Amino acid sequence: MSQEVHPAGSLKQHTIWQDGQMPEPCTVVIFGATGDLTQRKLLPTLAHLLHDHPLPEGFSVVAFARRPMNDEQWRGMALDSINKYMPDNDKLDREAQHDFAQRMYYCQSDFNDREGYEKLADILERLDREKGTQGNRMYYLATPPTLDSEIIFQLGGAGLARPAAGQYGDEESWTRIVIEKPFGRDLASAQKLNREIARVFHERQTYRIDHYMGKETVQNLLAFRFANGIFEPLWNQKYIDHVQIVVAESLGIGSRAEYYEEAGAIRDMVQNHIMQVLCLTTMEAPVAFDADAIRDEKVKVLRAVPLLTPEDVAKRTVRGQYTAGVINGQPQVSYKEEKGVSPASQTETYVALKLFIENWRWAEVPFYIRTGKALPKRSTEVTIQFKRVPHMLYKPAETKGLVPNRLTIRIQPDEGISLKFAAKVPGAARHLNDVDMNFSYSEAFGIESPDAYERLIADCMVGDSTLFIRRDEVETQVQVEVSKR
């Protein structure tokens, strides 16, 4: 059956649940509930899920944070956030806001206070009885990475990490934990964090989230490569000259100085988002469309990327910081002038590097990676540049300015795919020009793409870990390093 096409601007609502699979009743516990990630992303996402997609009647949210507050004060804060940060076309009416607010509860505690976790356990047990959440729990760590170990330890100590078999009928309840990047500063710290997680949670309970994996255009890399017969035969070192992956951000670091001084562009972008895009672009076809089969192939790619030696760092990398200027008509201070940044900071806000993948498919094909903040425009794309024809039939004057064939996958903001190729200019002369063949998501499907966090939170609710990061992926991708700070 062909896809019904709708004109741009007339987008239908997408369906978030795969094959009609519905989540079981559950409680989402957000650690760091008063922080920026929760206010800007998680609360609007949960409100949109509840309002536009059927969720079980007992679905509840518990906020866990340090700030003194009661349930009603938290509900007011949550509604302020969704009204501020939800897109205008997704705004909730008064009835929907009331419904969302009544599902919200608050637990005030320091993250290292055992009594706070005991209080959380009491709240969760009460919701199981009153709302029918059946012991199903999702813990979301929307906290600085320095708190991950402590929260995980405390959850284990309070008996909140393991589902209790048989307490809620014939089916065992489930408990899952969602952990945000970065997953360690280097291999040693990544392995340490993974050991701490494994002492408390099984790997099947652990959902390491990279929101880039929730983007439709990133997921479409698999469909583009493995559901079409025309490109995969060319997807190798015989036909491809090089690959470029660019993640350009137009904003500076904002209020994230404490985090960014520790992370820099390498840990913030390259070791997670960009490595995931690289894997989907270059991996072999999985034996099945399931979580472990796909992640097995991604790990093979990561293991084939040689570690950068000091000589490689000197020859194949560039690091920089943004200076003061104007972006989109707005003044932008330099990185060292940002609040919370040391005037002597050597943290990179821009990095460019050249990598290789040492396997049969990609031998000697360079991969050029660039990412940075406070750049002229926001853009994320993958460009595959093919090799030139072995012999040009046309004269140099007829092909002046002609570039090699390029396939560009636009991840954001104008999601789509374009293919650049040569075509003859109409007329008696044999002049050739570059032309583009374009595919646009918004024009082709007439369906609104789900937000990345919405896609991933929904997947976690139903226990689908395909788009999440496995332990061995973390320990491999974190080894892509440019400097030792």
The structure tokens listed for 427 are 């007329």
371-400 residues labelled b (16+ CB within 10 A) or e (exposed):
bbbbbeeebbbbbbbbeeeeeeeeeeeebe
CA distances from 288 to 89, 203, 226 (A): 37, 20, 11
The structure tokens listed for 70 are 């009661």
The structure tokens listed for 139 are 């813990």
Which residue type is seen at 141?
L
For tokens 């012999």, the residue is 391
Dist. CA 337–CA 335, nearest whole Å:
5
The reply to whether 48 belongs to the active site is: no
Which residue type is seen at 483?
S
* Contact between 273 and 212 (Cβ < 8 Å): yes
Dist. CA 371–CA 33, nearest whole Å:
29
Alpha-helix runs per DSSP H in 166-290: 187-200, 216-226, 257-265, 275-282
* Contact between 163 and 174 (Cβ < 8 Å): yes
Dist. CA 346–CA 268, nearest whole Å:
15
**Candidates 14, 202, 273, 431; catalytic one:** 273
Which residue type is seen at 196?
E
The structure tokens listed for 35 are 């922080």
Dist. CA 402–CA 391, nearest whole Å:
14
**Quick one: three-class SS letters along 26-37?**
CEEEEECCCCHH
Helices 43-52 and 452-461 cross at an angle (nearest 10°) of: 70
The structure tokens listed for 34 are 């008063």
* Contact between 134 and 167 (Cβ < 8 Å): no
Catalytic residues: 273
